[in-house]
Amino acid sequence: MKKTWLFLGISLLILIGCNRPSGETSVTEENGFSFAFLTDIHLQPEKDAVAGFRLAIDSVNKLNPDFVITGGDLVMDALDQTYGRVDSLYNLYIEVSGELNMPVYNSAGNHEMYGWHRTEEGIESNPEFGKKMFENRMGDCFYSFDHKGWHFVILDAIYRGEDGHYIGKIDEQQQEWLKGDLEKTDKEMPIAITVHIPFITSATQLSQGALAANSESTVITNSLEVLQLFGEHNLKLVLQGHLHFIEDLFVGNEVHFITGGAVCGRWWSNVPGDHPEEGFMMIHVKGEELSWEYIDYGWTPTWNK
């Protein structure tokens, strides 16, 4: 049945600071599988971030999911730092993430875009300017793969606006690729999307009021146009990052739009407040049904001990 993508009848589950104990073991059920969604890692040598990320990795390895998907903002920060600093951050992420014992499918976030916020002459002629650094080090910014009867699509929602700053958008080249990818996918096959910047979210309205508008850097500006490409397909799950926020928007009893918290919590600051603890999502799949849990992996920086 064709989906019209009118966002009516949304069941909303917002969980802030609601976690499962990190020592709990997730077991893949018969004829099903589990995977981990780690978003907004913001890896850096400061703030005990490396130790924190390694603690998260240790938790993931103990839970032993089939694979890991990252939700972007892997490093902190490529937008406005020198080449040497950004090069070292990418190298650090590649080294530490290599300790995961299962396949890792990476996504690009706004903080991976080298030099977009820098103004020095010649910056754009650097062969690793913008998305090139991510592509050279991590691989394609958008791609797809299949796993145990599900089709996974990793999209690149980071677009450079006219002023040089990022906005949320899926460009035309990527939409053409997506159309071709979907043409090769059985219409009954369940599909999961990963993006860094959300398609939809309740975060703005909950923090600023029901009539508050999202900014063009908070959500994907052409979200409806892109989601309609899935209208004849069996879209079941959209994994989102960027907001350091946990939510599950269950739309039309068909699609979960899950915003996945943040591995770094509040940018490795470990300050109290109305925000999720440092953690990651475990997604459990059986057939076309899914459930999730947010894993607080128990990080505390040395200055807080």
pLDDT digits (tens, 9 = 90+) for 8-53: 334 444 444 344 433 344 444 457 999 999 999 999 999 999 999 9
56-68 exposure pattern, b = at least 16 Cβ within 10 A, e = fewer: bbebbeebebebb
Residue 195: both structure tokens together = 């993006």
Are 12 and 44 contacting, i.e. CB atoms less than 8 angstroms apart? no
Three-state DSSP string of the chain: CCCCCCCCCEEEEECCCCCECCCCCCCCCCCEEEEEEECCCCECCCCCHHHHHHHHHHHHHHHCCCEEEECCCCECCCCCCCHHHHHHHHHHHHHHHCCCCCCEECCCCHHHCECCCCCCCCHHHCCCCECHHHHHHHCCCCEEEEECCEEEEECCCEEECCCCCEEECCCHHHHHHHHHHHHCCCCCCEEEEECCCCCCCCHHHHHHCCCCCCCCCCCECCHHHHHHHHCCCEEEEEEECCCCCEEEEEECCCEEEEEECCCCCCCCCCCCCCCCCCEEEEEEEECCEEEEEEEECCCCCHHHC
State pTM to two decimals.
0.91
pLDDT in tens, 250-267: 998 899 999 999 999 999
CA distance 57 to 289: 26
pLDDT in tens, 167-198: 999 999 999 999 999 999 999 999 999 999 99
Q: What is the pLDDT of residue 271?
A: 78
CA distance 257 to 239: 6
Average pLDDT of the segment spanning 52-74? 98
CA distance 59 to 68: 12
Q: Does pLDDT of 200 surpass 60?
A: yes
Kindly give the pairing relationship between strand 255-260 and strand 234-240: parallel
